[in-house]
Structure 1
Amino acid sequence: MSTIIGIRDAGPTGAVASAIAAADMNGGIYSPAKEKAAARGVYTGRSQLVRRLRSLVCAAKLKLVVCVVIFSVVVLVTSSRLSSVMGWVPPHPNPNTSSRGGGYTVLMNTWKRSSALKQSIGHYASCGGVEAIHVVWTDSEPPSESMKYHLEKMAFSKSQAAKKPNFKFSMSQDDDLNNRFKPIQDLRSDAIFSVDDDVKVPCSTLDFAFTVWQSAPNTMIGFVPRMHWLDKEKSGVEKYTYGGWWSVWWMGTYSLLLPKAAFFHRNYLNLYTNNMPSSIRDYVTRERNCEDIAMSLLVANATGAPPIWVKGKTYEIGSSGMSSMKRHSKRRNKCLNDFISLFGRMPLVSTNVKAVDTRLEWFW
């Protein structure tokens, strides 16, 4: 007796069944090849879309990682080469340490602006690097004793340093702009920060500029750049044009700094008073203008190098002063050309270098 064992075909399931059903509905013929393709998901639109999206996401992640790595490398390389780009090596000394004394002397020029003078003295006295404040009084009428006492007391009370700044007034018999650059006796520092009484520079910015000056103490370091360019030459005589801030902004270069907010070495006070041609000082006395251009020419003539402009905000108290007067640009042009004639040469050197405190820059 034989037994017949019947085997039931379970039939295709899942994706295979779907493929067969689709083939039957379309009048197609089912085949094993189609069955394998259906098993791999070739005929499943949803699986194909998911697989495509996954590949795109993986590619995007890979590109993002590569971009992050490249950006990090660029930042590190740029940071390591900052000193060569800037043209000077930025040191990191404590602003309270230097070769002579601990910091710098604020040399403040004032003229009939008692309110601005009080604000400026209170501000600069609070800066940690200030060793002394020397006020050059250019008014023909001397300040009252009560005013001097009040200003000195305020300078001491505003100071945050353990050693209070030395505070002095300098008065002259004559009303002469050259007086702002007279030599100062008993200085405790080599660095002079020359500033007008209506200009305020934040203490952190000022301390950074001082470190720049320490890296190049023979150069003028400051915040107010100006420029010059050769306008024309006729019969062997060169005529130059003096450019203000907007010229610097447009051209991207500068060749002098105004000592209304600038560092320079104390030796230049002696050079200005005793070694510069007296014809230039006489010119400043007569015209009552351009002593700042004369000092810039003096420093450039002594160094043969350009100044260094420090990026930083400065704030003016009250009116903008003489620069807002009519015919100011023409007078500055005349001063520049007359001084060059008296010097006998053009000492100014143009540059586009700017010192920047990268700790305050999120991207550079």
Structure 2
Amino acid sequence: MSTLIQIRDAGGDGVYSPAKQKAANRGAYSNRPFLFLRRAKQFLGATKCKLLFALFALSVVVLVTSRLSSWMGWNPHHSSSVSSTSRGGYTVLINTWRQKSLLKQTVAHYASCRSADAIHVVWSESEQPSEQLKRYLKKIVVLKSQKANKPNFRFDISADDEPHSRFNPIKHLSTDAVFSVDDDVIVPCSTLDFAFSVWQSAPFTMVGFVPRMHWLDKEQNNVVYYRYGGWWSVWWMGTYSMVLSKAAFFHRKYLDLYTHEMSPSIQDYVSRDRTCEDIAMALLVANATGGPPIWVKGKIYEVGASGISSLRGHSHRRNKCLNDLISLYGTVPLMSTNFKAVSSRNEWLW
């Protein structure tokens, strides 16, 4: 006689069954992957929020520390890491005319730039600079310089039998890089060092802060006419073909080319109209390189009264100068570009 033994399920009131137990086990294990995925999503979501918060906090810290120096009046000078490729730095070539107070301010500023190896003042006045002014500026250079080897300072004055030009060759020049600047333009030292590093990557082109452009305006009877475009034209069109020598780097060899190799007809034209010198230099470099200049984005400051660009008729004179020089060249060496060099120190994103 057989005996039927009932074994109750420990977890409930039902009767124990091997098939029932197996089905229950399959259900329990089949739910585990979904539970794991749900927990993984929760973990990743929390981690993502923490990571975003950390990046935001880091951005705030970087912004505050980068702006703190300017808020507190502290202006650190970032020296170029590759300045040694141009004999230790650059020569600052300051063009001045009847603005002694601005000249004092400009010389004092550029003397404080660590990569400035020498400072030369192109004196264009008929009256010689006074000995008092010379002694004062030399003293300022020594006081403002932040390095052991003080920049060499001197006036470059043309002899009576030499044509007056801001681009006359400089004897015993110790650097390949020349930074040409007007006496009413201040470029912060850190910005200037960045532009210097850009110039070192392309030392035979012109690298500057003041872009200008040209474009074909009309053509009638086989005669073409080009338009000279200022800053607002560059901003609107998004292109440029020149950088002006009022704040630009170029190789010292162009001083010799400008004086000794440029066409005599162009030299005569420029000597009659000194306001065309910067366009003539831009054409000279473009003709020598066959390429465009490089515009460096950076803040520059014009001190003193408004320059000649604000005078009535300036636009007409620039148009005439551009077209006359192109006619003398017999070609258009200028090339347009939209390339712009920007320092990552001043940008939010890389």
Secondary structure at the residue paired with 2:84? coil
Are residues 293 and 240 of structure 1, via their aligned partners in 2, closer, same or farther at CA, if it must alter by over 3 Å? Answer: same
Relative to structure 1, the CA distance from residue 59 to residue 250 in structure 2 (aligned partners, 3 Å threshold; closer, same or farther) is farther
CA contact (8 A) 1:311 1:356 kept: yes
| Cα displacement (A) at 1:341 | 0.3
Shift of 1:170: 1.0
Alignment correspondent of 1:330? 316
Q: Aligned partners of 2:134 and 2:315: how far apart in 1?
A: 36
Deviation at 1:319, TM superposition (A): 1.4
Structure 1: give runs of 5+ residues left out of the alignment. 1-53, 72-91
Q: With structure 2 as the length reference, what TM-score do the two structures score?
A: 0.77
Match of 1:181, SS state, is coil
Q: Which residue of 1 aligns with 2:144?
A: 158
* Separation in structure 2 between the aligned mates of residue 165 and residue 310 of structure 1, nearest angstrom: 25
Identity %: 64
Using a 3 Å threshold, how does the CA distance of structure 1 residues 95 and 131 change in structure 2: closer, same or farther?
farther
Q: How far does the alpha carbon of each residue in 1:178-221 deviate from its partner, in whole angstroms, 9 at most, with x for none? A: 51000000011000000001100000000000000000000000
Where structure 2 has 5 or more consecutive residues not aligned to the other structure, the ranges are 1-37, 56-78
Correspondence for 1:94: 81
Q: What pairs with 1:8-19 in structure 2 (closer than 5 Å)?
A: none
Matched, 1:261 2:247: yes
- Mapping of 1:211-360 within 5 angstroms? 211-360=197-346
Q: Distance in 1 between matches of 2:341 and 2:101?
A: 32
Q: Is the 8 A contact 1:106 1:130 kept in 2?
A: yes
Q: CA deviation at 1:232?
A: 1.0
Q: Distance in 2 between matches of 1:293 and 1:321?
A: 16
Question: Structure 1 CA distance, aligned partners of 2:44 and 2:319?
Answer: 59
Displacement of 1:58 after TM fit? 5.2
Aligned mate of 2:91, from 85, 105, 108: 105
Of residues 172-181 and 264-273 in structure 1, the stretch that sits farther from structure 2 once superposed is: 172-181
1:199/1:333 Cα in 2 relative to 1: closer, same or farther (>3 Å)? same
Alignment check: 8 A CA contact 1:178 1:284 kept: no
In structure 2, distance between residues paired with 1:360 and 1:211: 16
Specify the structure having the higher radius of gyration (Cα): 1
For 1:213-237, what per-residue CA distance to the aligned partner results, in whole angstroms no more than 9, with x for missing partners? 0000000000000000000111222
Task: Calculate the TM-score normalised by the size of structure 1.
Answer: 0.74
Quick one: structure 1 residues 178 and 262, their matched pair in 2 at CA, closer, same or farther if it must change by over 3 Å? farther
In 2, Cα distance between equivalents of 1:58 and 1:174: 84
1:193 pairs with one of 179, 188, 193: 179
Question: Does 1:61 pair with 2:61?
Answer: no
**Aligned partners of 2:113, 2:303: CA distance in 1, in Å?**
18
Distance 1:319 1:214 in 2: 33
Q: Does structure 2 retain, via aligned residues, the 8 Å contact 1:127–1:203?
A: yes
User: Take 1:299 and 1:252, find their aligned partners in 2: how far apart are those partners?
Assistant: 22
Tell me if structure 1 keeps the 8 A contact 2:209–2:297.
yes
SS of residue in 2 equivalent to 1:289 = helix
Q: Would the aligned equivalents of 1:178 and 1:281 in 2 still touch at CA under 8 Å?
A: no
Task: Report the secondary structure of 1:108's partner residue.
Answer: strand
Alpha-carbon offset, residue 96 of structure 1: 4.0
State the Cα RMSD in Å: 2.6
Q: Which moved more, 1:280-289 or 1:259-268?
A: 280-289
Is 1:210 aligned with 2:217?
Answer: no
Query: Does structure 1 conserve the Cα–Cα contact (< 8 Å) formed by 2:119 and 2:153?
Result: yes
Cα distance, 1:325 vs. partner? 0.6
8 Å Cα contact 2:80-2:115 kept in structure 1 = no
Aligned length: 288
Report deviation, 1:287: 2.2
Q: Is 1:118 matched with 2:104?
A: yes
Q: Give the drift of 1:94.
A: 2.2
What code does the residue aligned with 1:61 have?
G
Hey, what's the Cα distance between the residues in 2 that align with 1:304 and 1:284? 22
Deviation at 1:140, TM superposition (A): 1.0
